[in-house]
Homo-oligomer: A and B are copies of this chain.
Amino acid sequence: MKRDNELAIGVDLGGTKILVALVNRKGKSSYSMKARTFSSSNSDIADRVIYMIHELLRKSGCGINAISAIGIGAAGLLDPDTGVIYESPNMKIKRDYDLKTPVEREFLVPVFVDNDVNLGTYGEYVFGAGKGVKSLVGIFVGTGIGGGIVLNGDIYHGFTKAAGELGHIIINFDGRPHPFKTAPKGTLEAYAGRIAIVMEIKKAVERGEKSIVPEIINGDWQSFKSGDFKKALEKGDKVVAKALNKASGYLGIGIASIAHVLSPEMVVLGGGIIEAAGSYMLPRIIKKVKKRGFEPCIRGMKIVEAEMEDESIVVGAATLAFNRSEKEFG
């Protein structure tokens, strides 16, 4: 039974921040809160999620009885059927960590867990740039590159539940080692993730090319943030423009390769780097896709920027929770 005034809670659980929101059937968030993922008061991740949901309910004045379901998007490899996180390099949890059960026991409403990037893609599919398309690929470019796939209305998980690891597609088999060394070499992430782009800029600066980046970051390369790309572009920094142009080309090659496999109706690009430099990068990405893509696979494919920014994951998580709880519990 769909009621327009129904609410679900969406949780975006990342390695550094946690965002919780009250979301209605129409994908509108009426109240949200953000905090650090790790706090001295909650040493356990599930405890932290539970605490944040209690805070959200208390501060918004919403009773738990008004909540139909809870959806959690977690950074990590997990099983969406059981809510168990196999591993998450950023969250300091033990392997096979059950996130679903403690949250479900605390609030006695259905809880659904999925990968954060999958839910960001799903959020864009239900209420963002991908509304109405039949197949959507989401690519989120930040420190790394995450991917999500929605086919015929459902998140596509594949056999291992780890499908859509689009940052790991190999674009150059003889290519660069992965910056974290935890993944195969020559991957899209090794060429177009933030770490790769910053390395490119740093090398150019060390070669003596003129750039305002050292000034923006005050000489501390570790402090380089996605927003700094925007600042540098606005000031006409050629080193940054060149590095982003190269990254756009790599992304275009990756998207071409993905299109040869999946031929999606739309590719949505999001994440910190696209939010900062999307207007510069998108035309360059599209140009490369057209150059390197096999035409029958890319004909009519749309490549657009994500529309929901920070909200895509909480809205995607809450909407998935609505839909799955209806499907599973009627």
What string of 1s and 0s marks CB contacts (under 8 Å) between A187-216 and chain B? 000000000000000000000000000000
- For A297, give its contact among B86, B162, B263 (CB under 8 Å): B162
With a cutoff of 8 Å between Cβ atoms, the chain B residues found around residue A296 in the complex are: 77, 86-87, 160, 162, 165
The answer to whether the Cβ of A51 comes within 8 Å of any Cβ in the partner chain is no
The answer to whether the Cβ of A257 comes within 8 Å of any Cβ in the partner chain is yes
The answer to whether B258 touches A261, judged by C-beta atoms less than 8 angstroms apart, is yes
Given known contacts A183-B294, A258-B261, is B172 in contact with A159 (CB within 8 Å)? no
- How far is it, in angstroms, between the C-alpha of A298 and the C-alpha of B184 when the chains are bound? 12
The answer to whether the Cβ of A301 comes within 8 Å of any Cβ in the partner chain is yes
Grouping DSSP codes into helix (H, G, I), strand (E, B) and loop, the A interface class, with mixed when no group exceeds half, is loop
- For A257, give its contact among B77, B159, B257, B294 (CB under 8 Å): B257
The answer to whether the Cβ of A300 comes within 8 Å of any Cβ in the partner chain is yes
How many monomers of this chain does the complex have?
2
The answer to whether A163 touches B297, judged by C-beta atoms less than 8 angstroms apart, is yes
Number of interface residues, chain A, beta carbon within 8 A: 50
The answer to whether B86 touches A159, judged by C-beta atoms less than 8 angstroms apart, is no
The answer to whether the Cβ of A73 comes within 8 Å of any Cβ in the partner chain is no
The answer to whether the Cβ of A34 comes within 8 Å of any Cβ in the partner chain is no
What string of 1s and 0s marks CB contacts (under 8 Å) between A230-243 and chain B? 00000000000000
A109 to chain B, nearest CB (A): 29
The answer to whether the Cβ of A265 comes within 8 Å of any Cβ in the partner chain is yes
With a cutoff of 8 Å between Cβ atoms, the chain B residues found around residue A172 in the complex are: 171-175
With a cutoff of 8 Å between Cβ atoms, the chain B residues found around residue A45 in the complex are: none
With a cutoff of 8 Å between Cβ atoms, the chain B residues found around residue A26 in the complex are: none
- For A261, give its contact among B157, B166, B173, B185 (CB under 8 Å): B166
- How far is it, in angstroms, between the C-alpha of A102 and the C-alpha of B250 when the chains are bound? 46
- For A164, give its contact among B149, B261, B264 (CB under 8 Å): B261
The answer to whether B159 touches A135, judged by C-beta atoms less than 8 angstroms apart, is yes
The answer to whether the Cβ of A84 comes within 8 Å of any Cβ in the partner chain is no
Considering the complex, give the chain B residue whose CB is closest to the CB of A263. Answer: B158
With a cutoff of 8 Å between Cβ atoms, the chain B residues found around residue A135 in the complex are: 158-159
The answer to whether the Cβ of A299 comes within 8 Å of any Cβ in the partner chain is yes
Considering the complex, give the chain B residue whose CB is closest to the CB of A302. Answer: B159
Which of A258, A261, A299 gathers most chain B CB within 10 Å?
Answer: A261
The answer to whether B169 touches A260, judged by C-beta atoms less than 8 angstroms apart, is yes
The answer to whether A173 touches B250, judged by C-beta atoms less than 8 angstroms apart, is yes
Could you list which residues of chain A lie within 8 angstroms of chain B, going by C-beta atoms? 77, 86-87, 134-135, 147, 149, 151, 156-166, 168-175, 183-185, 250, 253, 256-258, 260-265, 292-294, 296-301
**Can you list 21 residue pairs at the A/B interface with Cβ under 8 Å?**
A77-B296, A147-B261, A156-B262, A157-B263, A158-B262, A159-B263, A159-B265, A159-B301, A161-B263, A162-B299, A163-B261, A166-B260, A168-B260, A168-B294, A170-B256, A172-B172, A173-B292, A184-B293, A258-B261, A261-B262, A262-B262
